[in-house]
Amino acid sequence: MSELSVKHLLGIKYLKESDIQLIFETADHFKEVINRSIKKVPSLRDITIANIFFENSTRTKLSFELAEKRLSADVLNFSASQSSVKKGETLIDTVNNILSMKVDMVVMRHPNPGAGIFLSKHVEASIVNAGDGAHEHPTQALLDSYSIREKLGDVAGKNVVIVGDILHSRVALSNIFALKLQGANVKVCGPKTLLPKYIDSLGVGVETNLRKALEWCDVANMLRIQNERLDISYFPTTREYTQQFGVNKKLLDSLDKEVVIMHPGPINRGVEITSDVADSKQSIILNQVENGVAIRMAVIYLLASKIK
Report the alpha-carbon distance of residue 180 to residue 157 in Å, rounded. Answer: 10
* Other CB atoms within 10 Å distance of the CB of residue 208: 14
Name which of 269, 266, 262, 264 is nearest 283 in CA terms: 262
Reading across the β-sheet that carries 126-132, which strands appear in turn?
74-79, 48-53, 105-110, 126-132
Nearer Cβ to ligand CP (26/226)? 226
CB 90 → ligand CP: shortest distance, Å?
24
What are 96's strand-pairing partners?
A: none
Q: Report in angstroms how near the CB of residue 217 gets to ligand CP at its nearest.
A: 21
Residue 57 or 208: the one with the smaller Cβ distance to ligand CP is 57
In angstroms and rounded to an integer, the radius of gyration of the C-alpha atoms of the chain is: 19
- Of 51, 73, 82, the C-alpha closest to 307 is 73
What does the binding site for ligand CP look like in residue numbers (CB under 6 A)? 57-60, 131, 137, 140, 264-266
CB 212, min distance to ligand CP, A: 27
Does residue 249 contact residue 203 with C-beta atoms inside 8 Å?
Answer: no
The residue (of 127 and 262) whose beta carbon lies closer to ligand CP is 262
Distance between CA atoms of residues 220 and 259, nearest Å? 7
Instruction: Tell the smallest beta-carbon distance from residue 138 to ligand CP (Å).
Output: 11
DSSP letter at 250? H
3-state secondary structure of 27: helix
CB of 243 to ligand CP, least distance (A): 25
Nearer to ligand CP, 43 or 61 (CB): 61
CB-wise, 43 or 226, nearer to ligand CP? 226
Which residue, 43 or 190, is less far from ligand CP as judged by CB?
190
The H or E element containing residue 28 is: helix 17-34
Q: Which residue is nearest to ligand CP (CB)?
A: 60
Q: Closest separation between CB of residue 57 and ligand CP, Å?
A: 3
